[in-house]
Amino acid sequence: MTAEYLGMNYAVALSCGTAALHLCVKLAAERINPGAEPGNSLAGQRVFCSDMTFDASVNPVVYEGGETVFIDTETDTWNMDPEALEKAFKLYPDVKLVVLAHLYGVPAKMDEIVTICRKHGALIVEDAAEAMGARYDGSVVSGMCGSFGDFNAISFNGNKIVTGSSGGMFVTNNKDDADKVRKWSTQSREAAPWYQHEELGYNYRMSNIIAGIARGNILHIDEHIAQKKAIYERYREGLKDLPVVVNPFEDKAKLNYWLSCLLIDESAMCQQVRGEKEYLYVSEPGKSCPMEILDALSAFNVEGRPIWKPMHMQPMYRMNGFVTREGNGRGCTNAYINGGYVDVGADIFQRGLCLPSDNKMKSEEQDVIIDIIHRCFR
């Protein structure tokens, strides 16, 4: 059912999206480095990764002994910047794997990214965990998110647009890859009358209960997307008089509206400072900041969240490579200048937040949220 929806031939049900990503990376490593040891299959190799994402997107590279190099974000979709990716290949020409995530259900610039990866002979692991149901119709590639990579992963986590409470899937057009992932996910049991194991395996299979819930929910995906779109449009209309914008997308993309997000104009930002776990801000008339809005929402028992903190800013990854597009900010809007380079991801993290986007939210409840945000700017 999932493979058919995505226009693919095979889908392997797994315990979570992270498991799917791990086996995507493991398969890619085998293709790049045949005969490598499990857990060390990317030893000594760099992998280009989306910078603004959840760490589950990139941790599997480390599981397999690789070194992540983060590619900065662009302003049109908040996804991997193709210009920065092209620059990264010039800096690290030996890289043969790119891990790409579609942020908040908005498709990345796949025409440009696929073209660059083909040019440099690099494989793509596509993390479509947040993008189930999103579509991209470009001139180079066209189809559903989760169908563009050499290896593809989706998620049925409890917060996703299609949920099984947990779970994920590996998606492919290659039967041999599907069979290999299915074998790995069941502890690599051989086709023998007894328990025969000839290679390292994992306990990654999906439970029957999760499968049943996810199967039931996928029947309603178009309805869920329509509900999420209505939420996005109400935010855009209700906040249009404020110095903010909702998360952007390209005309060639049809997003799933998984999360509606807000970006405050630089001129309307009050002072805000974040440490590793704590923050401070100074309220100013006519201005606000993400943490002030999130505190105001929390006071009414409403949950919002900051934008994903970019991976290159995370303590465990801040010594890793990080590639931005060339120049002093030309071509970027409202870009954060830090030590001479343009750090778009840091800027979006500084000025952005995720708004309540549950498709069960009533329009009257959303009106209250919109009013709270307005009050923050008074």
Convert the pLDDT of each residue in 284-300 to its tens digit: 999 999 999 999 999 99
Given pLDDT bands bounded at 50, 70 and 90, which one contains residue 330?
very low
- Residues 141-174 have pLDDT tens digits of 999 999 999 999 999 999 999 999 999 999 999 9
How confident is the model over 235-243, as a mean pLDDT? Answer: 98
Instruction: Write down all domains in the chain, each with its CATH number in brackets.
Output: 2-218 (3.40.640.10), 222-310+336-376 (3.90.1150.10)
Residue 22 has pLDDT above 90, yes or no: yes
Give pLDDT, residue 338. 56
Please state, rounded to an integer, the average pLDDT across all residues of the chain.
94
> How much is the pTM?
0.94
Write down the pLDDT at residue 337: 57
Q: Which residues are CB-neighbours of 281 under 8 A, at least 6 positions away? A: 270, 271, 272, 273, 289, 291, 292
Mean pLDDT value across residues 262-287? 97
| Torsion sign (Cα): 217, 218, 219, 221 | positive
pLDDT, position 1: 87
